[in-house]
């Protein structure tokens, strides 16, 4: 979007904050307005929203397309599952911390390797590394359960204050939803600050022109690595939140089509905007659930949506709406 954008009303910071607060209040009230199943579905959407926001720090803000983000999501999820199985950790906060630490280590390591390259080589390298983890999870079945995966019991929240031993649906649709919501809002706030900080601006400079960014004095590779790390950690955090909600962690979430799904939902929402990935994640989640529920050919539905999307509205849902709104306003 250029500076000469003709749209007369661009919401300022106060306007955006008000809109965000309104959304947050709506999300707070929703569990009382919609059935539990829908609330759980929304939790999935919010969790993938965190993953997509983290992913988009790389794609949208740094200009690096990772096709291996399933790895960090899965590391977070497996860390929570393994902590529960072998160390009998029931506290969600503790397991989540474990997930964050594990995904920090893995993304720091993989990032150091991957950020030496850009463009297609970056994508292929991230994919190859994520598949190393996939084959390890598959083959070391005595630790990871192989294709059967690991069961993740319902955790307790707030240091045992809210236990997860009661009705599972009730737990997931109320306390756990709020837990996810709080983490989600915190992640949105943190990432918003990051992309609007000097660091975030530097990333965008690298995305737009690497050579110029370097001449301005930005350590391009170091910044890319840091962006990779932050991106991986947020995706890992999402994986950690996802594990108890899903109740089962299998190698499917490390296999490369899962990375494709993270890319898909980010582009669906629009990767040139901050809020796009969140919208994409929630919409994709409903779309997938609906498609899986109505037809066995749900992959066909999703694939067609993706192809049509890329062909006709490459700026995603949020980007397209942002372009349409001023036009509609002028027309009326």
Partner 1 sequence: MVTLAIQVLNSLYYASSLFLIACGLSLIYGVMRIVNLAHGSLYALGAYVTAGAVLLAGTQPSGLVFLLLPAGAFAVAGAGAILEPSLLRPLYARAEEYQLLVTFGLLLILEDVMRFFWGALPLSPSAPADLLGSSSILGTTYPNYNFLVIAVGLLAAALMWAFVYRTRFGVILRATSQDMRMTSALGVNVKRVYVLAFAIGCFMAGLGGAITVPITGAALGMGVDALVLAFVVVVIGGLGSLEGALIGAVIVGFFRTLGINFFPEVELAILYLVAAVILLVRPAGLFGRP
Q: With binding defined as CB under 8 A, does residue 67 bind partner 1?
A: yes
Residue 166 CB, shortest distance to partner 1, in Å, is 38
| Cβ at position 65, least distance to partner 1 in Å | 5
Residue 184 or 258 with smaller CB distance to partner 1: 258
Report the C-alpha gap between 297 and 52 in whole angstroms. Answer: 25
For position 131 contacting partner 1 by CB under 8 A, the verdict is: yes
Helices 276-294 and 298-312, interaxial angle, to 10°?
150
Smaller CB separation from partner 1, 37 or 300: 300
Binds partner 1 (CB under 8 A): choice among 140, 151, 166, 294: 140
Q: How far apart are CA 202 and CA 223, in angstroms?
A: 8
Contact call for residue 296 and partner 1 (CB under 8 A): yes
Distance from C-alpha of 179 to C-alpha of 161, rounded to nearest angstrom: 13
Between the alpha carbon of residue 233 and those of residues 99, 271, 291, the distances in Å are 9, 19, 30
Distances 199 to 6, 193, 194, 208, 216 between C-alpha atoms, Å: 29, 10, 7, 14, 13
Interacting residue with partner 1 among 10, 18, 139, 151 (CB under 8 A): 139
321 part of the interface to partner 1, by CB under 8 A: no
By CB under 8 A, the count of residues binding partner 1 is: 44
Q: Cα torsion at 270, 184, 102, 269 (round to 10°)? A: -10
123 binds partner 1 (CB under 8 A): yes
48 in contact with partner 1 (CB under 8 A): no
- Rounded CA gap, 157 and 159, in Å? 6
Using rule CB under 8 A, residue 216 touches partner 1:
no
Secondary structure class of 151 (helix, strand, coil) = strand
Cα–Cα distance measured from residue 37 to residue 39, given in angstroms and rounded to the nearest whole number: 5
Q: Which stretch binds partner 1 (CB under 8 A): 81-89, 94-102, 197-205, 258-266?
A: 258-266
Choices 78-86, 112-120, 182-190, 229-237; region in contact with partner 1 by CB under 8 A: 112-120
Task: Please report how close the Cβ of residue 135 comes to partner 1 at its closest, in angstroms.
Answer: 3
d(CA 216, CA 84) in angstroms, rounded, equals 48
* 46 touches 265 (CB < 8 A): no
Asked if residue 146 binds partner 1 (CB under 8 A), the reply is: no
Nearer to partner 1, 129 or 172 (CB): 129
Minimum separation from the CB atom of position 67 to partner 1 (A) = 7
Closest CB to partner 1 among residues 83, 318: 318
Contact 218, 55 (CB under 8 A): no
Separation between Cα atoms, residue 28 and residue 11, nearest integer Å: 24
**24 vs 301, beta carbon nearer partner 1:** 301
Binding status of residue 159 toward partner 1 by CB under 8 A: no
Residue 108 as a binder of partner 1 (CB under 8 A): the answer is no
Q: Say whether residue 119 binds partner 1 (CB under 8 A).
A: yes
Residue 85, classed as helix, strand or coil, is helix
Residues forming contacts to partner 1 in the complex (CB under 8 A) are 59, 65, 67, 113, 116-117, 119-121, 123-125, 127-129, 131-132, 134-136, 138-140, 255-257, 260, 263-264, 267, 296-300, 302-307, 310-311, 314
């Amino acid at each position: 979007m250029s500076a000469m954008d003709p749209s007369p009303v661009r919401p300022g910071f106060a306007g955006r904050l008000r809109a965000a607060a309104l959304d947050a209040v709506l999300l707070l009230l929703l569990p009382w307005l919609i059935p539990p199943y829908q609330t759980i579905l929304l939790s999935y959407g919010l969790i993938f929203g965190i993953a997509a926001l983290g992913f988009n720090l790389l794609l949208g803000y740094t200009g690096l397309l990772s096709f291996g983000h399933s790895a960090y999501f899965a590391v977070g999820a497996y860390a929570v599952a393994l902590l529960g199985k072998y160390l009998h950790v029931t506290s969600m906060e503790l397991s989540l911390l474990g997930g964050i630490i594990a995904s920090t280590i893995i993304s720091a390591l993989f990032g150091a390797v991957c950020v030496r390259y850009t463009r297609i080589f970056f994508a292929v390298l991230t994919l190859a590394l994520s598949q190393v983890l996939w084959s390890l999870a598959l083959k070391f079945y005595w630790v990871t359960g192989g294709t059967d995966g690991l069961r993740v019991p319902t955790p307790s929240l707030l240091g045992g204050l809210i236990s997860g031993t009661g009705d599972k649906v009730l737990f997931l649709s109320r306390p756990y939803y709020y837990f996810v919501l709080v983490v989600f809002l915190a992640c949105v706030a943190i990432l918003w600050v990051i992309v609007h900080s000097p660091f975030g601006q530097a990333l965008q400079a690298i995305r737009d022109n690497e050579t110029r960014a370097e001449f301005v004095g930005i350590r391009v590779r170091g910044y890319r690595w840091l962006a990779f790390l932050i991106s991986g950690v947020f995706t890992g955090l999402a994986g950690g939140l996802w594990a108890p909600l899903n109740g089962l962690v299998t190698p499917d979430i490390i296999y490369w089509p899962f990375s494709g799904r993270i890319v898909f939902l980010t582009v669906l929402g629009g990767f040139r905007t901050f809020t796009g990935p969140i919208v994409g994640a929630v919409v994709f989640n409903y779309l997938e659930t609906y498609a899986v529920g109505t037809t066995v050919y749900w992959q066909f539905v999703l694939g067609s949506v993706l192809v049509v999307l890329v062909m006709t509205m490459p700026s995603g849902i949020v980007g397209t709406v942002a372009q349409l709104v001023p036009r509609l306003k002028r027309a009326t």
